[in-house]
Structure 1
């Protein structure tokens, strides 16, 4: 089983970070990475089963959302290259926030099955890193 892991520490209260990232249909906090989010279906962005398409390429479904634990998970149903439905199985991404004395730790991880695990990780890790950098930039200017 393959995996990815990225993290960032933000000097922002956990509630502020959660409010920013917890709507599955709103990724306006990373405009340099996600240029278009298309809502699919009738579920709200805070409802399990919500679906979205990112940048007209990544088809994702919200699997869990636990506001009390500041975490959510999603699956990639289809995507480009190494995360296409023909190349990867059981791709689950997890975003978890943890409060500390110095701010909020944001962890973005994933697990998946693929014959090309390194290719998937090499594809996804830079995206997660860029998303976390976008989150930091957005929250430091708001």
Structure 2
């Protein structure tokens, strides 16, 4: 008897070093309600501030472009970290399901900061034999691209150490 299994949870971690101190970087990215520091985000709307269960809607490209709905489930300003989940996104926009993510700013030895963005998710197609645009590789590539674009924007804004 052959045993079949579904998709495997994928994980991505991207880090960048920036010249600015952690408090400065956190001031730029630590507000869950404002993700306009990311170049793909045209606008962020939401409710609840930085409280657990706060929500936000990311508007991609333009205010009437595709959206991603998210909910905050952990927030610690003292540790400069927050965690959130996607609650609604079309797989054509981001080819993932069951996505959760963590954004953290840490001090860098010698000055500056390390910004870490990590996520875990399943591919956009939950069954066996996914189409190429919804397979594990497509999901990993898409999430990695999102993280790199955002963190590279922080390096451009604050400089490299």
Q: Does 1:135 align with 2:143?
A: no
Q: CA deviation at 1:80?
A: 2.9
Q: Does 1:112 align with 2:116?
A: no
Instruction: Give the structure with higher Rg (CA).
Output: 2
2:4 is aligned to none
Q: CA deviation at 1:136?
A: 2.4
Distance 2:87 2:146 in 1: 17
Q: Does 1:12 align with 2:16?
A: no
Q: CA deviation at 1:113?
A: 2.8
1:54 counterpart (45, 51, 58): 58
Q: Which runs of 5+ in 1 are unaligned?
A: none
| Helix, strand or coil at the partner of 1:136 | helix
Contact 2:21 2:111 in 1 (8 A): no
Q: CA deviation at 1:120?
A: 1.2
Q: CA deviation at 1:81?
A: 1.8
**What is the TM-score with the length of structure 1 in the denominator?**
0.84
Q: CA deviation at 1:28?
A: 2.7
Q: Does 1:75 align with 2:85?
A: yes
Distance 2:136 2:54 in 1: 27
Distance 1:134 1:33 in 2: 10
CA root-mean-square deviation: 1.8
Q: Does 1:33 align with 2:43?
A: no
Q: Which runs of 5+ in 2 are unaligned?
A: 1-8, 60-65, 127-134
Q: CA deviation at 1:12?
A: 0.5
Task: Deviation per CA, 1:10-39: give whole Å up to 9, x if none.
Answer: 011101111111111112323x32112121
Contact 1:33 1:134 in 2 (8 A): no
Residues 29, 72 of structure 1: alpha-carbon distance in 2 compared, 3 angstrom cutoff: same
**What is the TM-score with the length of structure 2 in the denominator?**
0.74
2:130 is aligned to none
